[in-house]
Amino acid sequence: MKLEYIKVGRVVNAHGIRGDLRVQPMGQPPDFLTQFRTLYLDGQPVHPESCRVHKSLVLLKLPGIEDMDSALAMKGKVLSIRRDDARLPEGVFFDDELLGLQVVDADTGDSLGELKEVLPYPAHNLYRVVGRREYLIPAVQDVFIVSTDLNANEMRVHMLEGLATDEN
């Protein structure tokens, strides 16, 4: 589903006493967040004064947040970007865009169900698909994922034995 806004990070804490925010990236590497001049917080545009990667987090300085108390008040807030501002390689999608897609077995044409959740794992994500059965499908392009068409609201996958969660 084509979305107007994409969630890209969550404020997890304050950093220091000058109002910097510690932001946990969502679905993308930390340096992805640093390329945007406009982020959206509660639907309102904000223009970061500084944005840098620190370990696996992003340290963000927003206007109007000048001390630790005001930074701590931001804890739990979600940062978004406009989808049209993001440039992803061909065939790469944000996790939020994939939710709700109808998943179809590319070999048989059978409907497997709806993509309900993207589960992050170190090697690759897993797609949790729920229909008559529940499936955990590795998000590996050209091995399990044959094609993804947001306009048609469909993902075609190559099924192998053992992907259903109730199989032994």
pLDDT at residue number 167? 66
Q: Which residues of 70-87 are buried (b: 16+ CB within 10 A; e: fewer)?
A: ebeebeeeebbbeeeeee
pLDDT of 27: 81
Split at pLDDT 50, 70, 90, the class of 43 is confident
Domain range list for the chain: 5-85, 95-157
Whether 95-157 and 5-85 are alike in CATH topology: the answer is: no
Q: What is the dihedral of CA 132, 137, 139, 144, to 10 degrees?
A: -100
pLDDT category at 1 given cuts 50, 70, 90 is low
Predicted local confidence at residue 168, as pLDDT:
57
Predicted TM-score of the model (pTM): 0.80
Express each pLDDT in 86-138 by its tens digit: 988 888 888 889 999 999 999 999 999 999 999 988 888 999 999 999 999 99
* Sheet of 78-82, strand order: 44-46, 39-41, 78-82, 5-15, 20-25, 57-61, 50-54
CATH architecture of the domain with range 95-157: Roll (2.30)
Multiple choice CATH, 5-85, 1.10.10.10, 1.10.3720.10, 1.10.1740.10, 2.40.30.60: 2.40.30.60
